[in-house]
Amino acid sequence: MRWVEYIVFLVIVVGLARPVGLYLARVCQRRRTFLDPLLRPIESLLYRLLGVCPEQEMSAGVYLASFLLLGAGCALLLFLLLMFQRWLPGGPADAHLTTPMTADLAANTAVSFTTTTTWQAYAGESTLRYLTQVIGLVAQNFLAGAAGLAVGFAFIRGLARERSATIGNFWVDLTRSLLWVLLPLAFIGSLVLIWQGVPLNMAPYTVVHTLEGRTQIIAQGPVAALEFIKNLGTNGGGFFNANGAHPYANPTPFTNFLGMLAIAVLPASLMITFGHVARRPRAGWLLLMVMVALFIVGLVVCDRAETAPPPQLAGLHLEGGNMEGKEVRFGVGESVLTAVVTANTSTGSYNSMHDSYQPLGVLAPLACMLLGEVVFGGLGTGVYSIIIPALVGVFLGGLMIGRTPEYLGKKITSAETRWIALYALLTPMVVLVLTSVTVVTKAGRAGLVTNSGPRGFTEILFAYASCMANNGQTMAGLSVNSVFYNATTVIAMLAGRYGLAALALALAGRFAARRRLPFTAGTIPDDTLTFGALVFGTILVGAALCFLPALALGPIVEFLRRPW
C-alpha cells in the first residue's frame, strides 16, 4: 500500500506542476489572475502603506540589500518578542514554561525562523507563549517563505531577461507572493487541518482525568494557525516538540499527505515557471525530471532500510519494520515519505524520529540535505539550488567538448564560473568546518547526551547539514540548547540563507545583463536526456567528493558495524 502512496504523491506533484507553475509565472510577471478583483485593491493599499513604487525595478545588488534588510528587521522583531514574551497575555501558564528564554536561545530562534530554517533548540509546549507562536512564528513562516519565493522569481528573471540592469522589485515580489500564493492557500489548508482535528484555541492546558483515574495535562494552543504554513512556506518548525508526529499537529494520514503536497507542489511547479518565463519550457521539465529521479533514489534507500525488520531486534520474535520513534497511524511508509520529502525541501517538519532510523535510513535524508536541497528545494530558493549545480554540469560539459559553456544561450564566462564555484563550495566548507570544530571541542561533544560513536557523529553532521540547508530537522538525541550550539548553528543558518542567496542573485544580475545567443551545433542542448544525466551525475558526484569521507565516519560505518 505504501508504494501506492508514494506513486500517487509523485503523480500529483508532477501533474500539478504545469497549472500551478503557469499560475506562479503570472504572479511573477504581474499578469492577470482570477484572484485579481479581490487582491489588486489590497496590493495597491499595501504599496501605499510601505511607500513602494511598484514600477521601480532593482539591480541585483539593491534586490539583495532589500532581502537582507527584511531578514534583519524580522529577526530583530522576533528576538524582542521572544525576550519579552513573559509579559504577553494568554496561555500557557508560567508553570508549564520550564525552558528559560535565554538571549542565546532567543537569538538562535529569531535567526532560525527568519531564514526558513526553523531549527528548534526548544520544545514549543514548554517554552513559548501562544501569542509568541502566532505573532512571532506564524508571521515569520509567511514572511520568510514569501521572501524566498521572491528571490526565486528574481533568479528566474535574471536568466530570462536580456541586456537588463534590473531583476525586479523585491517588495513587489514579496507582497505578491504573500497575497497571491501563501495567504489564500494557507487559509484553505489550515481550515482542512482543523476539520481533520488540529486544534485552534487559546485555552489553558487541559487537565484530564483519564479512564484509570490518572491526571493527564494536555497542551493546547492555536496549533492550526502554524501547521499548514509551516509546510507551505517550506519552514517546518512545529508548534510542539514532536512536530509533525504530535497527534494535534498531524492527526491523520490525510493531514500528513496534504502537508507533503503543500511542501513539494510549489517548489516543483517553479521549474515550470522557470521554463515558461525563460521561454524554454523543456529545460524546466527536464530539471523537474532530474529532481524526480533523485527523489526516487532517496525514497527507495530510506524505504528499504526502514521497512526491513530491525536486525538489532532479531531474536525477540517481533513482526514489522522499524517502528521505534514512529506513529502507528503513519506506519513506516508515510514516515519514510515524510522524511525524504522534508529533507529534500528545506522543511524540517518530520513526523518520526530520525535518530531512531537505521543507518541507511538516516543516510538518505542526510544526503538529501547535503546535496543542497536540489530536489524540489525550498520555496523559491529551490530554483537556484537546482540550476546552479546544473550550471556546474554545463561547465563540465563545456570542458569536455572544448567550447565556452552556455545555458539558455547565456555564456558562462570565468566571472560567472567563480560565483558558481563559490556556491558549490560554500555548503561543504561551512558544514564540514563546523562539524569538525564541534567534534573536537568539549562544548560540542557535551551535546551527545543520548547516543555516541558513529551515531553521535551523524547527529552533529546532521545538525549542521540541516541548518546550512535551512531545513531545521534534527536528530533530536543531540542536546542543542547551549551557547555553543546556539551560536554555531546560527552561522550555518545565515550562510545557508544569505550566503547562497547573495551568490545566486549576483549570478542573476550578471545573466540579466547578457544577451541570449542563438543555438548552434556546438551548444549543449539543455533539454535532452543526455543533459539530464549530466546534471544528475554532476550533483551526485559533486556531493560525494565533498561528503563521502564524513558520511563514512557516520552512517556508513554504523551500517557496516551493525549486527548481521
Binds another protein by CB under 8 A, chosen from 18, 30, 329, 445: 329
Pick out residues in 217-276 that bind another protein (CB under 8 A).
Answer: 217-220, 222, 224-225, 240-242, 245-248, 251-254, 256-257
Binding residue (CB under 8 A) for another protein from 30, 300, 324, 437: 324
Least Å distance between CB 374 and another protein?
A: 27
Using CB under 8 A as the binding rule, whether residue 216 contacts another protein is answered as yes
How many angstroms separate the CA atoms of 109 and 81, rounded? 11
Hey, is 206 helix, strand or coil? Answer: strand
CA proximity to 59, closest of 156, 150, 152, 158? 158
Q: Is the CB of 306 or the CB of 373 nearer to another protein?
A: 306
Residue 330, interface with another protein (CB under 8 A)? yes
Which residues have C-beta within 8 Å of that of residue 270, sequence separation ≥ 6? 21, 24, 152, 156, 380, 382, 383
Is residue 317 a contact residue for another protein (CB under 8 A)? yes
Q: Is 528 in the site for another protein (CB under 8 A)?
A: no
Using the rule CB under 8 A, give the single segment among 1-9, 16-24, 366-374, 522-530 that binds another protein. Answer: 1-9
CB of 335 to another protein, least distance (A): 8
Q: Output the smallest distance, CB 395 to another protein, in A.
A: 17
Q: Least CB distance from residue 454 to another protein, whole Å?
A: 8
Is residue 558 at the binding interface for another protein, with CB under 8 A as the rule?
Answer: yes
What's CA 80's distance to the chain center, in Å? 25
Could you say which of 1, 31, 89, 518 contacts another protein (CB under 8 A)? Answer: 1
Residue 326 lies near another protein (rule: CB under 8 A): yes
Neighbours of 93 (CB within 10 A): 8
Q: Compute φ and ψ for 217, nearest 5 degrees.
A: -105, 125
By beta-carbon proximity to another protein, the closer residue of 36 and 162 is 162
Of residues 54 through 83, those in contact with another protein by CB under 8 A are 59-62, 65-66, 69-70, 72-74, 77
- Establish if 214 lies at the interface with another protein (CB under 8 A): yes
Our CB check for another protein shows the closer of 29 and 59 to be 59
What is the amino acid identity at position 340?
V
**Does 308 interact with another protein (rule: CB under 8 A)?**
no
Q: Which of 134, 80, 73 is nearest to 106 (CA)?
A: 80
Are 335 and 306 in contact by the 8 Å Cβ rule? The answer is yes
Q: Which of 171, 376, 407, 531 binds another protein (CB under 8 A)?
A: 171
Q: Which of residues 472-491 bind another protein (CB under 8 A)?
A: 475-477
Residue nearer to another protein on the CB measure, 373 or 416: 416
Instruction: Return the HEC string of 249-263.
Output: CCCCHHHHHHHHHHH
Three-state secondary-structure class, residue 464: helix
DSSP three-state, residue 334: helix
* Residues contacting another protein: total by CB under 8 A: 137
- Residue closer to another protein (CB basis): 272 or 299: 299
Residue number with CB closer to another protein (338 or 471): 338
CB-CB neighbours of 246 under 10 Å: 21
Is 493 in contact with 398 (CB distance < 8 Å)?
A: no
Q: DSSP of 136-199, one letter per residue?
A: IIIHHHHHHHHHHHHHHHHHHHHHH-SS-S----HHHHHHHIIIIIIHHHHHHHHHHHHHHT--
Residues 101-140 interacting with another protein (rule: CB under 8 A)? 123, 125-126, 134-136, 138-139
> Is 372 in a helix, a strand, or coil?
coil
Please identify, using beta-carbon distances, which residue of 303 and 373 lies nearer to another protein: 303
Q: What is the 3-state secondary structure (H, E, C) of 97-145?
A: CCCCCCHHHHHHHHHHHHCCCCCCCCCHHHCCCHHHHHHHHHHHHHHHH
Q: Given the rule CB under 8 A, which of 375-383, 423-431, 527-535, 556-564 is the region that contacts another protein?
A: 556-564
- Does position 407 bind another protein by CB under 8 A? no
Can you give the C-alpha Rg of the chain in angstroms?
23
Locate the DSSP E strands across 386-471. 406-407, 410-411
The answer to the question of residue 327 lying near another protein (CB under 8 A) is: yes
Q: Is 50 a binder of another protein (CB under 8 A)?
A: yes
Which H or E element spans position 78? helix 60-83
> Looking at 22-30, 161-169, 264-272, 379-387, which segment touches another protein (CB under 8 A)?
161-169
Contact pattern for another protein over residues 370 through 399, marking x by CB under 8 A: ------------------------------
